Amino acid sequence: MLYSTFPTTPDLLFCNLRGTISKQLRPGRQEDAHEFLRYLLDAFQMSALKHEKKKTTIVHKIWGGYLRSQVKCCACGKESNTYDSILDLSLEMKDCSVTEALKHFTAKESLEGNNKYFCKQCNTLQKAIKQLTIFEPPNVLVLHLKRFQYESERESSRLRDITSTKINRFVSFDSELDITSL
């Protein structure tokens, strides 16, 4: 066991973390566990990239995965796929279970009206269906459960105020999560 004759204060610990992990950390600011984890993983990633000289590091081998965003034109059926690497998923907690929040995250969304999709095959704006899926799941899935709900109030055509409400409800989750069925 390591002992020290000097007292350890939170300020000293904080300064060391700030210098090592992220300059974004500020004393007196509320930093949640998700932000801290992201700063920590980013610091691990930068350190690994310096030493490994590879694109894929141990950070991405453990926590990394890929999301697929697919847009399908309703007129011609042409599909457009983009892939993004992830280290975590941020879930809106509108429902009371992680499984339902994941279903909401991967639900199909209709792009229509002012939000139509420009289809390159049709060469015009078209109604389309967009869906996010977990294309390649990470070995360790980190879920960030959003605990705040933001609403904006409008005063005529200008944004007047943005209010936040903390979500204080029980969230259920199973001991196992089958993300292949989403």
How many structural domains comprise the chain? 2
Q: What confidence score (pLDDT) does residue 36 get?
A: 78
The whole-angstrom distance between residue 151's C-alpha and the CA centroid of its chain comes to: 20
**Same domain assignment for residues 126 and 148:** yes
Question: Does some domain include residue 41?
Answer: yes
**Same domain assignment for residues 70 and 13:** no
Domain boundary among 42, 63, 84: 63
Structure token digits, residue 77:
């059926």
Question: Does some domain include residue 32?
Answer: yes
**Same domain assignment for residues 88 and 169:** yes
Question: Does some domain include residue 179?
Answer: no
Q: What are the DSSP E strand ranges found in the chain?
A: 65-73, 79-86, 89-92, 109-111, 117-119, 124-126, 128-136, 143-146, 148-155, 158-166
Task: Give the whole-angstrom CA distance, residue 117 versus residue 72.
Answer: 9
SS3 152: strand
**Same domain assignment for residues 44 and 106:** no
Domain residues for the domain of 149 are: 64-153+161-173
**Same domain assignment for residues 44 and 78:** no
Residues of the chain with pLDDT under 70: 1-32, 52-55, 150, 152-161
List the one residue out of 62, 61, 59, 39 whose CA is nearest residue 50. 59
**Same domain assignment for residues 105 and 52:** no
Question: Does some domain include residue 180?
Answer: no
Question: Does some domain include residue 99?
Answer: yes
Domain boundary among 38, 63, 88: 63
Q: What confidence score (pLDDT) does residue 49 get?
A: 80
> Domain holding 121: CATH number?
2.20.210.10
- The bridge status of strand 109-111 relative to strand 128-136 is antiparallel
Q: What confidence score (pLDDT) does residue 173 get?
A: 86
Q: What pTM was estimated for this model as a whole?
A: 0.73
